[in-house]
Structure 1
Amino acid sequence: MSKCPQIIQLSQHLNHVSDNQRFAGANQKELTNGAINTVMLVKKINPKIHFQFVISFGQCVEQIWGYRQLLAEVEELRKTTYDADNFRHEEKLYDLWAKLMPNEVLDGRITKQWQYIGFQGDDPKTDFRGMGLLGLENLLAFATEYREAASHVLSHSHHPVYGYAFAIVGINLTKLAWTLLQQGDAKTYFYNTARNLPTIKLFHQFYSYLFYEFDRYWLECKPKDIMEFSSIKDSFESNVRNALQDPTAVFRINLSVDTI
């Protein structure tokens, strides 16, 4: 909101750098120090008197433009279409199966087995349209970093009464996590959790928490059938947004599962 030309220029430069995902490494340190020095010069702040300013403002710069950079990184993944001819994409998909179903071998690339982990048809690639590669990255991170929790949730998805499509629900929750990030509601979580720059790993952790908690909430609601998904998801989203309004909010998957 500053009207000072130097501050405006500084802000615009930091925006450009973070939007292009170059706020990292040695560049990050140089930019942060440059921002501190610019503000101290313009505002006539004496670092010998206000020594805490250098530390506190530096952390603010890292958090604010780190969050903006994370937005750009997440958006790039969301816009990346799943490509069955891309070896890395296919490798991630097979890895997802291996993490969730370690004791069952796939019959082939296109098979009804995918429906067991919650994809709609025989070929999972069609389900990634809405959230692109981000949907797969989120599912794989949940299954990798929180393997026991993911297995726990997958077993619930096969409940004879309250079952649901694990992967499809997961992709819907990717959209929720992305929306909360885009709209800024998630800043509370990232600012309270990240020691320095918010990273994509932290976004995956945020997503994993949402998936784990949604599963718990879904079972608590005891839905009559899957047709209640939209209303329950909306109610869950409202609860999450309310929780994020708490300035001390830090989400974490249940410790008893998280540490297995």
Structure 2
Amino acid sequence: MTWSIGWVDSRRKAGQRTPVMDGVVAVAVHTEGLNCFPQDCKYTGEPPNGLSRCTTIQNGPANGIKENGNPYLKAAPLSALKQNGLLQSLAADCIPSKTEELSLEVERAQEEWDALEIIQPVPAEDLIPSTPISFNEALQHFQTTDLGGPLKNIQPTLHRTGFSAIAHFLFGPPRLHKDLVEERDLLFAIGQCSLDNGQAVHMRVLQTVYRKLTCTRADCPRYGPHWENVGFQGTDPATDLRGTGFLGLMHCLYFVMDPEILPLARDIYKLSQHPVQNFPFSVMSINMTRIALHALREEVLSKECNRRQQVVAVLNDFYVGTFLHLYQLWKTQRKTISDSGHVLKEVEMFAKKNPKQILKRLEGYLKERHSTSPDALIHNNPSSGDAGSQIGIQGTKEGKEMNFIGVCELPPETEGEARLI
């Protein structure tokens, strides 16, 4: 930007000094870059007495250099500009106001906001936690579901030939009673079912296991690293269930929903979080399910199933008893995750060879824990309890004995916490 301002006085040519007088100011201003448009400002007025008209050349330097014989005017001092208000007006044109600065900030913030991903609102129904599901209700779901496809792919017993078949027939465990074959096959069919996001029961089982172990009330997302907190190996629990199918999740549900064995489940879960002796709880639980299925397939549980006339309850107890054996071994021998392969092999061999001992240890552990718990001391005191409380204890114990009713004998709409009858 170039500008020039001055007085032209004919008497100054004769060497006379004339004081500055109020008169007409001739200004030539060329601004460039203000609002992206060049501006030329020029004002010429009539001179006072004794002054000749001021002539200015626009776009020229105000240093007195001649061009076409006409001298340029020299720049006036800043004090003169201040007196005439010109400096203020020029500065106002060049410097943006506070309002303009605020507008720029708002525009920039709006651009940053628009660049963010659009956040979808969460439906209100998704904020309501799902209702916890019991093991019996989940089992009823599979009893009333068509499992024709999975049933075709099961292998309920080992195929033995030659001397192995003869030895098993003569010296092996007894065969499973024919009335229990359907119940056994259902367990193997559940082991062939994968986790289905479209099944509400499947999702309730998954959420119940997570909330019981972590003692939280709200549901968690279907995928995410939070599943590692309960011992899954990745962001999707379904990837760890490929070996045992949905039965691996059913056993974990039984472990956390039975009030009598829930303290044991939390003790094992606490050990799995140990800074040195940690292990993935859910993955270890799935391995216990795998061992239990192998024991059932190899018919080492047939004698106990025939005695109790149940398969589901026996398999559940064997699963918990095997987990208890691993827990005691892991804790007392200070095992770490580097020992997991050897420990699992040792536990599997012991459980298959000693199924009766596994079940007896679990029964003794639960009795000892029940007798030392604060609630047991109250119930054992005749003065503080009544007959109703004693019946309630027996009812809980007998309620664990689940009677299988057969596949698809319940109507599909049956819901609730009803016991199997």
Find the partner of 2:186 among 73, 76, 80: 73
Residue identity opposite 1:173 in structure 2: M
Find the partner of 1:233 among 344, 360, 383: 344
CA distances 1:122-144 after superposition (whole Å, capped 9, x unpaired): 22122111111100000100111
Provide the residue aligned with 1:183 in structure 2.
298
Provide the residue aligned with 1:221 in structure 2.
333
SS at match of 2:191: helix
C-alpha separation between the residues in 2 aligned to 1:198 and 1:230? 32
Find out whether 1:169 has 2:284 as its counterpart. Answer: yes
C-alpha separation between the residues in 1 aligned to 2:235 and 2:370? 32
| Aligned pairs (5 A) from 1:40-55 | none
C-alpha separation between the residues in 2 aligned to 1:117 and 1:128? 14
SS at match of 1:252: helix
Find the partner of 2:321 among 198, 206, 209: 209
Find out whether 1:141 has 2:251 as its counterpart. Answer: no
Provide the residue aligned with 1:119 in structure 2.
232
Say if 1:82 and 1:89, in contact at 8 Å, map to a contact too. yes
SS at match of 1:69: helix
Compute the displacement of 1:221 (Å): 2.9
Provide the residue aligned with 1:82 in structure 2.
195
Say if 1:188 and 1:244, in contact at 8 Å, map to a contact too. no
CA distances 1:67-119 after superposition (whole Å, capped 9, x unpaired): 43332011110011111221111111001112212236455222222111101
Compute the displacement of 1:227 (Å): 2.8
Residue identity opposite 2:288 in structure 1: L
SS at match of 1:132: coil
Compute the displacement of 1:212 (Å): 2.0
| Structure 1 residues without counterparts, runs of 5 or longer | 1-20, 22-59
C-alpha separation between the residues in 1 aligned to 2:194 and 2:221? 22
Q: Which has the higher contact order (CA 8 A, sep 6+)?
A: 1
Residues 221/153 of structure 1: CA separation in 2 closer, same or farther (3 Å cut): same
C-alpha separation between the residues in 1 aligned to 2:359 and 2:286? 24
Say if 2:193 and 2:246, in contact at 8 Å, map to a contact too. yes
SS at match of 2:246: helix
Residue identity opposite 1:123 in structure 2: D
Residue identity opposite 1:102 in structure 2: C
Q: TM-score, normalised by structure 2?
A: 0.43
Residue identity opposite 2:227 in structure 1: W
Of the two, which has the highest radius of gyration?
2
C-alpha separation between the residues in 2 aligned to 1:99 and 1:112? 18
Compute the displacement of 1:183 (Å): 0.3
Compute the displacement of 1:66 (Å): 3.9
Residue identity opposite 1:219 in structure 2: K
Q: Percent identity?
A: 21
Residues 115/202 of structure 1: CA separation in 2 closer, same or farther (3 Å cut): same
Say if 2:191 and 2:246, in contact at 8 Å, map to a contact too. yes
Aligned length: 196
C-alpha separation between the residues in 2 aligned to 1:258 and 1:78? 32
Residue identity opposite 1:205 in structure 2: D
Provide the residue aligned with 2:157 in structure 1.
none
Residue identity opposite 2:231 in structure 1: G
SS at match of 2:253: helix
